[in-house]
Amino acid sequence: MPRQSRGALLSTLQLDANSRAPLYRQLEDAIRRIVIDGELPTGARLPASRQLAEDLGVSRLTVKNAYEQLVTEQFLETRPGAGTFVGRISATELAPAVELSSVPARKSLSLSQRANRISQSRSVLRLGGTKPFRPGVPALDQFPSSIWASTHSKVLRHSGTDNLGYGPPGGLLELKQAIANHVQDHRGVRVDPLQIIITAGAQQAFVLIAFTLLNPGDRVWFEDPGHIAGRDAMHLFGADVKSVQIDNEGFDINQAVASYPDPQLIFLTPSHQHPLGITMSLERRMQIIDYAKSHNCWIVEDDYDSEFRYQGRALPAMQCMDNQGQILYVGSFSKTLFPGLRLGYLIAPPVMVEAFSVAQTLMSQNVSPVLQKTLARFIDDGAYNAHIRKMRSLYSHRLDIMHNSLSKHCNDLFHFTKTDAGMHLVAWLRDRKLSDQPVCESIWDAGIDCLPVSMYCDKASIDQGIMLGFSCAPEHEIENLIMRMDRVVRGLL
């Protein structure tokens, strides 16, 4: 290519003065692309910075900045007294030395089996919603932000530089001790603080369990309907996930034993079954624990929502009945504080603590030590328990309003039972011609959040229903929102 046409090639570049990208960045990107595409071969001389600046209508400094960056990256090189030239990195210089016809054709790129399983995951559907009646979202407007901010500020001011690093594997001992005290007082959990692994929410705990404990093909018993993200984590690592039905006592161990013997792991939400809200009976809990002992398998106890019970005392956690070290207890602060905190914990048998700690470090490093220390002090100072007590009273009041509003306006559309725990209730559709997915989509379009029960089902065939979260709905809005929802559903009829 003649020298004049090479200069003309750069002189025709179009730079956008209104772009958020600075002009020198636009120019260096354009020249880099031209070199990579082979339009300027190795050794081609570029216009002087003054000339190109004049041609493009920009400052000379813009061109010099672009040239200097590309010289640093070796796309260009300077020769004293001669100018700026394309370096030995262009497409023509890097062309293969052999005929392409003599090189065997490369196989087309394909996704791994794990990537295919990831793409089929349903656990990220409609993430991030905070509108009323979004299930599982706490009353974010009631969070004690000023107390949290003050605690966080004190941690930053007085903790030195130690907590600005990665932190110890498995989390800070200070937070582990605070969690151990809390779960012992509130859930009867027996734990040495060193058994606790601090995680980025409950979901990371599920991934750690699947990653560390399961081999491809290992059988997992899973509730159906059940926790989507937990099920997806087991699928992701190649487990043979078997769906087990829910009866009026919770997980149906008899159906599981008859249909899918010899599991490696059993996944349960015994305190408040997700999503149906059933509390597993004591007899059923003991039956499952006895089976796990005699068949040498793990139990995952996801104790979500356990802090929010509105009638009577909750049964102790299953973990406190485990004398064999076979129950992995998972808890989270996403529901009790706020989801954006991304803090949870896994209580592991002593024999598994080191493996989980190393696995977490390999996968994602640790949760911020600053946040861990802030939460530890928030718990130790009594602010955490005070917030839970306040939310328990608030949520009970909001539940009453939602239940009364549904009874008043929608009793002919839904049948429902007032829940005694958790942060949502299930409203079952009376009209069997309606499907919960399109009903929820219509409700979403009306500016109200909810989730269809069917999305939590794998093989289960149950009635169509919608999950309505009452925790994030301000009291003065609930009845009007129920009336709006009533109009939407009647419109579908």
Structural domain includes residue 102: no
**At residue 397, what is the residue type?**
H
How far is it, in rounded angstroms, from Cα 21 to Cα 10? 19
Q: Quickly tell me which residue has 């082979």 as its tokens.
A: 38
Residues 372 and 390 in one domain: no
| Element spanning 116, H or E | helix 113-119
Say what the pLDDT of residue 428 is.
Answer: 96
Domain containing 33 — which CATH number? 1.10.10.10
pLDDT one-digit tens code per residue, 4-53: 455 577 878 889 988 888 999 999 999 998 888 888 888 889 999 999 99
Structural domain includes residue 155: yes
pLDDT one-digit tens code per residue, 224-241: 999 998 999 999 999 999
Structural domain includes residue 323: yes
Structural domain includes residue 40: yes
User: How large is the average pLDDT for residues 326-332?
Assistant: 96
Say what the pLDDT of residue 40 is.
Answer: 86
Residue 127 pLDDT grade (very low, low, confident, very high; cuts 50, 70, 90):
low
Say what the pLDDT of residue 436 is.
Answer: 94
Say what the pLDDT of residue 113 is.
Answer: 72
Is the separation of the CB atoms in 451 and 434 below 8 Å? Answer: no
Mean pLDDT of the chain: 89
Q: Is the pLDDT of residue 394 over 90?
A: yes
Beta strand pairing status for 414-415 and 344-347? unpaired
Say what the pLDDT of residue 1 is.
Answer: 45
Is the separation of the CB atoms in 395 and 423 below 8 Å? Answer: yes
Say what the pLDDT of residue 2 is.
Answer: 47
Say what the pLDDT of residue 193 is.
Answer: 96
Structural domain includes residue 91: no
Residues 166 and 311 in one domain: yes
Say what the pLDDT of residue 311 is.
Answer: 85
Q: Is the pLDDT of residue 357 over 60?
A: yes
Residues 208 and 124 in one domain: yes
pLDDT one-digit tens code per residue, 80-113: 888 999 987 655 555 555 555 565 666 666 667 7
C-alpha 190 chain-centroid distance: 28
- Print the domain residue range for 19: 3-86
How far is it, in rounded angstroms, from Cα 109 to Cα 474? 51
Structural domain includes residue 484: yes
How far is it, in rounded angstroms, from Cα 437 to Cα 443? 10
* C-alpha dist (Å) from residue 286 to 226, 252, 278, 320, 326: 21, 13, 16, 11, 13
C-alpha 466 chain-centroid distance: 22
Helices vs strands, H then E, count in the chain = 16, 14
Residues 397 and 306 in one domain: no
Structural domain includes residue 286: yes
How far is it, in rounded angstroms, from Cα 443 to Cα 69? 53
User: How large is the average pLDDT for residues 360-382?
Assistant: 92
Q: Is the pLDDT of residue 217 over 80?
A: yes
Order of strands across the sheet that contains 451-452: 414-415, 424-429, 465-469, 451-452
